[in-house]
Amino acid sequence: MSQASTTRDEEKRLAALADLWLLDTPPESRFDLIVRLAATQFRTPVAFVNLVGRERLYSKSAFGFQPVNIARTESICAHAILQDDVFVVHDTLADERFRNLPLVKEGPKARFYAGAPLISHSGQRLGALCVIDNRPHERFSHRKRALLRDMAALVVEKFYLRRNELLNATVKQFANSTELACISVDAQARIEFINHSALGLFDCGLDDIVGRDLVTILPERAEPAALLAAGLASNSAHSKTFETVARKLDGRTFPAEISLSAWHGERGPAIGAIVRDISERQARDRSLVDLANRDPLTGLSNRRHFGALLDRALADDKGATVVLIDLDEFKEVNDILGHATGDELLQAFAARIPLFLPQGAVMARFGSDEFAILLPGLRDPLRAHAVADAVLKALDSPLNIGGHLLHIGASLGYAVMPGHGETAEEIIANADFALYRAKQAGGRTARIFQPEMRSESVSRRATQDELVRALRENELVLHYQPQVSLETGEICGMEALLRWQHPTRGLLYPDAFIAALETSPLASPVGWWVLDEVCRQLATWRQEGFQLVKAGVNLFPVQFRENTLVQSVVQRLYRYDLPPSLLELEVTEKIALSNDDQALTAMRSLQRLGVQIAFDDFGTGYASLSSLQRFPLNTLKIDRSFVRDMLTNAHDAAITRAVISMASDLGLETVAEGIELAEQAELLRKLGCKSGQGYMYGKPMPAEHLAKLLVRKAATHQAVVFSDRMHMGLH
Ligand code: C2E
Ligand code: MG
Ligand code: MG
């Protein structure tokens, strides 16, 4: 390529061609009118709009000859673009630069050439508009030059228009092929443009909607000034998004999300909106909220949701009642019948209870077997009690769980606002104190919150903390209460009873700490410590030469749940080398009636080994002799409430008589508890009771005191016989 035919800034020139989407493009009819006009105006047979690429010259339009695509070096236009003004070659044959060019010798046989450079807005020479004749022209007037220059300028304008048209077409194709529904409106919020997706979304044709107010489809938010402000405030780079209701042309509405953007167009401000139908998303959100608020097993509200509802009820200031429910035997159901049945039970419970609740009540499951009921607006304790009662009554008939008829009980605690707390947490916590009381009372009952429950609970917790220390510092001690034969007055056994030698409060009895202990994790270590201590004591006495009698040890329910019962007992008998018959395990109703097969098997094994088993406090609970038949027993301990009243209450005496005779029919020993008077002992003996225990024979006492009542093997076989005098001497 000759030096003369390249511009100074060739790369910028080519970039300008590319920017206008003209580089190496084919001819286009849109320029035909101009070349024809040029040819007629200048009376030449041929005219071209030619562009000069890096190597080639190519026509965008040609008149009187076919469009060319020739080497740049073989063109005259390549020279024309180096000029500031129109380039004229009057006779090509007279110019040796052109004389031998193919286009001169062949083709259009160009003798005359006049070309005006096509100059871009940025000053780059893109090509030339040229007219060509096959004969030489002597002159090309100034007027003609000016005309050709103007026509060239028109061609350049057309380049720019063409690019905009192409760009618009691209944008439109893009807009119509996207799934997004796009609408643009003018400053008066009249719809100017709407793409295919938007037509689909609003269920209409182009003619139905272009030119109409945006209000037609966005009834709530189409106030133009506000839209514009919102759109422009979003600075168009980040569109502003909001949710609203959109309306199809037939009037149906749907929830929509609108993303607005705004710009200043040539005709003033304009707004673009992308519209999304968010019905599905809202439905999904709703079900997520639902999921977050529901207990999956029962479909009831969960604790979180319950808290939120309670907050709302409190904000209403109309009062509310919170009832907490805990199933009484749920753990047993789970253990014995399996977790699947447990789950079914919870579901059945959750389905039944709401039927018994007043309108507006909300039931929730807090977890495991804990449920709660919110009664918004219920502020009357009597009515609250009636609801709690209704829940208890609802459980009168059994639940049918996979063929099992389950009679489940529940404990309820409730708190009533105003009065029982300010915040949701406080009210729930207070209802929980009441629930604890209901549990303590043996279940199947409801309790209302009372302020002192709070302080009791605090002291219970304090006691539990203190018990940790007590166990560590050996503050727990055992006292032993003698049991005597009612026939002979001889000592025939003893019961180990726990005491707490408190450093500041003195000697504490079980009623001060046993409830706290039983509900703490310490119950198990303390329980096993008692057993160990009793065995150790028996071994010590044996070593000291005393004739041993059986010792009763009270068990905590938790010791049965650990499934190491047999092992734990056998280990200690073995360690201290004691015959099993010296040990009498005392169980209460909680244990014996729990229907826990595991506990039952363990007790049977122990009994087979020779360990004695006594049923404690008979007559205070639900247990009847027949209900105890499944449970392995050797001894029945008649509760001291019977003994206390039998002298004055003929009914109690009759029951005691019946119990004793039935027990002996079943081969059970009977021990009467709480004998304080000789008359009681005498009556019991007459009724057939074999042995007794009570203050009359001796209060629970330290081991060294009890030792005095034991018989030394070495001594003569004289038995220690209790008399009133001796009793007085001991205390
Ligand atoms: P329990 O097993 O029924 O023990 C008998 C309770 O009756 C003892 O109360 C005893 O002091 C009391 N008592 C005995 N004779 C008379 C009497 O003539 N008149 C009166 N009014 N009371 C008499 P204590 O020692 O206060 O024990 C209360 C309960 O604490 C026991 O009842 C037992 O359930 C529990 N307990 C005591 N020690 C232990 C233990 O080491 N482990 C377990 N698991 N529980 C224990
Ligand atoms: Mg006992
Ligand atoms: Mg007892």
Q: What is the DSSP string of 483-505?
A: EEETTT--EEEEEEEEEEEETTT
Helix/strand/coil (H/E/C) assignment for every residue in 254-268:
EEEEEEEEEEEECCE
The whole-angstrom separation of Cα 263 and Cα 225 is 14
Edge-to-edge strand ranges of the sheet holding 46-52:
69-71, 56-63, 46-52, 125-133, 112-119, 87-89
Which SS3 state, helix, strand or coil, does residue 481 take? strand
pLDDT band at 233 (very low <50, low <70, confident <90, very high): low
483 CA from centroid of ligand 3 (Å): 12
State the pLDDT at residue 730: 37
**Which of 418, 413, 450, 415 is CA-nearest to residue 319?**
418
For residues 71 and 98, the answer to whether their CB atoms sit within 8 Å is no
Ligand 1 pocket mutation pick from 497, 532, 555, 724 by most atoms within 8 angstroms of CB: 497
Section 116-142 average pLDDT? 95
pLDDT, tens only, 555-596 = 998 888 788 899 999 999 999 999 999 999 999 887 777 667
C-beta of 508 in contact with ligand 1 (< 6 A): no
Q: Which fold has domain 181-283?
A: Beta-Lactamase (3.30.450)
Nearest CA to ligand 1 atom 3: 617
500 CA from centroid of ligand 1 (Å): 13
The whole-angstrom separation of Cα 186 and Cα 199 is 18
497 CA from centroid of ligand 1 (Å): 6
Q: Tell me the CATH number of domain 297-450, given options 3.40.50.2300, 3.40.50.1000, 1.20.1090.10, 3.30.70.270.
A: 3.30.70.270
Pick from 263-267, 388-392, 541-545: least confident: 263-267
Domain boundaries in the chain? Answer: 3-169, 181-283, 297-450, 462-718
C-beta of 554 in contact with ligand 1 (< 6 A): yes
Ligand 1 pocket mutation pick from 483, 499, 673 by most atoms within 8 angstroms of CB: 673
State the pLDDT at residue 474: 92
- Average pLDDT of the chain to the nearest whole number: 88
For domain 462-718, say whether CATH 3.20.20.450 is its number: yes
Which ligand is the nearest neighbour of the Cα of 639? 3
Q: Which fold has domain 3-169?
A: Beta-Lactamase (3.30.450)
Section 134-157 average pLDDT? 95
Atom in ligand 1 nearest the alpha carbon of residue 498: 38
661 CA from centroid of ligand 2 (Å): 22
**Which of 573, 619, 584, 621 is CA-nearest to residue 480?**
584
pLDDT, tens only, 386-434 = 999 999 998 888 888 877 778 889 999 999 999 888 889 899 999 999 9
Helix/strand/coil (H/E/C) assignment for every residue in 39-65:
HHHHCCCEEEEEEECCCEEEEEEEECC
CB atoms within 10 A of CB 671: 29
Pick from 109-113, 240-244, 426-430: least confident: 240-244
592 CA from centroid of ligand 2 (Å): 14
Which ligand is the nearest neighbour of the Cα of 518? 1
pLDDT, tens only, 46-88 = 999 999 999 999 999 999 999 999 999 999 999 999 988 999 9
**Helical spans, DSSP H, in 182-278:** 196-202, 206-209, 224-233
Fold agreement between 3-169 and 181-283 = yes
The whole-angstrom separation of Cα 477 and Cα 587 is 20
The whole-angstrom separation of Cα 130 and Cα 86 is 9
pLDDT, tens only, 187-216 = 778 888 999 999 999 998 888 889 988 888
Nearest CA to ligand 1 atom 42: 554
496 CA from centroid of ligand 2 (Å): 8
- Interhelix angle for 597-609 vs 565-575, to 10°? 20
C-beta of 481 in contact with ligand 1 (< 6 A): yes
- For residue 687, pLDDT over 50 is answered with yes
Q: What percent of the chain has pLDDT over 90?
A: 58
State the pLDDT at residue 222: 55
- The residues facing 586 across adjacent strands are 554, 614
Count of alpha carbons within 13 angstroms of residue 447, beta-carbon side: 22
Which ligand is the nearest neighbour of the Cα of 584? 2
Residue 259 token pair: 């993303």
Nearest CA to ligand 1 atom 4: 497
Atom in ligand 1 nearest the alpha carbon of residue 530: 41
